[in-house]
Amino acid sequence: MKKKVVKKGASAPPKVDLSKVFLAPVADLVKAPLNFKEDYDVQLAKLIANLRRNGQVELVQLRELGDGKFEVVNGNHRLDAFNVLGWTQVLAYNLGAVSVEDAQRLALELNETRFRSDHLRIAGIVAALSERYSMEDLESTLPYSRADLDSYLEALGKEAAKVAEEQAAAAAVDVTPKDGLQLVLRLGAADEALWSKIKEAFAGVTDVNEEVFRAVCRSYESRHLPGVKRTTNASKSK
């Protein structure tokens, strides 16, 4: 008989109570009187379009009021959308007869625990979506105006142009004679005329192996500048 191996640090199973999930009659749902979300007709229209397009993919959270009625803890604007769409039943999670304070805390936890958005990444997603969907279609369901969507595409274009400019600048970087002379000195050649010739030979090359460069320096020095005294680390230390 095999021993059951228990991994150390294994996480507990998720806390799920499927018995609390049920089909709630929309007629029995009551909006929370202390709902802290503002009403916004444009966003409601987008929410209705979302539900029409995707169906209900998120449970509404309810607390029992008694007499078969439920208060909507999370999903008050969706309740408005359900009524506009004429839905009579929706998927819900019954929190039970919890206190008002517990319901309010849960509403804050569910609605206000947010992470900061990376708008450049959003711009990339919008650009990808615009390849498949029209801007009018995206505007109808995404939480952005047409101006927002256009701004995302503009920002992405500017970022792409900036990256291209930086790459082009990096590829075109040319060492100044002064900097070049320091490089030649480090490699054992101390003549500016020598550096000028080497610089000309390596114009446009940005990735040169140092040993190859050293060999070129020495070869050019011995063949073209026989009278130049080489500067080496050894001679510098004397």
Which of 118, 64, 68, 124 is closest to 95 using CA atoms?
64
- Beta bridge partners, 89, equal 25
Assess if CATH 3.90.1530.10 describes domain 18-112. Answer: yes
CA-to-CA distance for 44 and 76, rounded, in angstroms?
A: 11
CA-to-CA distance for 28 and 70, rounded, in angstroms?
A: 6
pLDDT band at 13 (very low <50, low <70, confident <90, very high): confident
Q: What are the pLDDT digits (tens) for 78-103?
A: 999 999 999 999 999 999 999 999 99
Domain limits of the chain? 18-112, 119-170, 177-230
Q: What is the pLDDT of residue 178?
A: 45
CA-to-CA distance for 68 and 78, rounded, in angstroms?
A: 20
Reported pTM: 0.62
DSSP string, 175-223: --HHHHHHHHHHHT---HHHHHHHHHHTTT-----HHHHHHHHHHHHHH
Q: What are the pLDDT digits (tens) for 16-48?
A: 789 999 999 999 999 998 777 777 889 999 999
- Beta bridge partners, 66, equal 69
Collect all residues with Cβ–Cβ distance below 8 Å to 23 and sequence separation of at least 6: 89, 90, 91, 92
Percent of the chain with pLDDT over 70: 65
CA-to-CA distance for 9 and 197, rounded, in angstroms?
A: 66
18-22, 136-140, 188-192, 214-218: which has the minimum mean pLDDT? 188-192
Stretch 43-64: mean pLDDT, rounded?
95
Is residue 229 pLDDT above 50, yes or no? no
Q: What is the pLDDT of residue 72?
A: 96
Q: Residue 81 carries which side chain, given as an amino acid letter?
A: A
Is residue 105 pLDDT above 70, yes or no? yes
Q: What is the pLDDT of residue 164?
A: 73
